Amino acid sequence: MNEQHQDERTRIWEAIDRLLSGRATTSNGSLTVVALATEAGVHRMALLKRHVDLKNEFYERVRTETAQTPEVEKRLRKTVAELKKRVADLTEENNALKNQVTHLTLASAVLADRLRKAEETAWLSDNVVRLPRP
């Protein structure tokens, strides 16, 4: 590990401690990666690419030390709940459409049969004898 990399890690650890103790100096104090990056003076992508272990450690400490759910997890849980409801709604709509297709198919068959019977008997008159089809 080079010196710059180690310096970043040290600043991130210090920023984690400040955020968790409520002593933020440069960020808004929220328990997010953005606030952590601001507090540590590193780019957010550094946490997401080079220091993933520290980001994960931060979220784990947020859960255990503050008994809070991280904002990212809250948003994801909300999105999952919304998507589950959407899937349930779409499944219900799909089942209703399948049922409607079945009813329309049956109605179409009944009407086609009635039309065929009406056409067969419409041209018949009293003095015409119908020949059987070959």
Residue-range definition of the domain harbouring residue 89? 71-123
Which of 32, 33, 36, 43 is closest to 17 using CA atoms? 36
Name the token pair of 21: 């103790």
Q: Any long-range contacts for 49-53 (C-beta under 8 Å, 24+ apart)?
A: 50/5, 50/8, 51/8, 51/9, 51/12
Q: Does one domain contain both 86 and 50? A: no
> What pLDDT is recorded for position 122?
66
CB 14 within 8 A of CB 29: no
Domain assignment present for 92? yes
Domain assignment present for 130? no
> What pLDDT is recorded for position 107?
96
pLDDT in tens, 14-42: 988 888 888 888 888 888 888 889 989 99
Domain assignment present for 129? no
> Number of folded domains in the chain?
2
Domain assignment present for 40? yes
Q: Does one domain contain both 47 and 81? A: no
Domain assignment present for 76? yes
Q: Does one domain contain both 76 and 97? A: yes
CB 62 within 8 A of CB 30: no
Name the token pair of 40: 């540590």
pLDDT in tens, 100-110: 999 999 999 99
> What pLDDT is recorded for position 20?
85
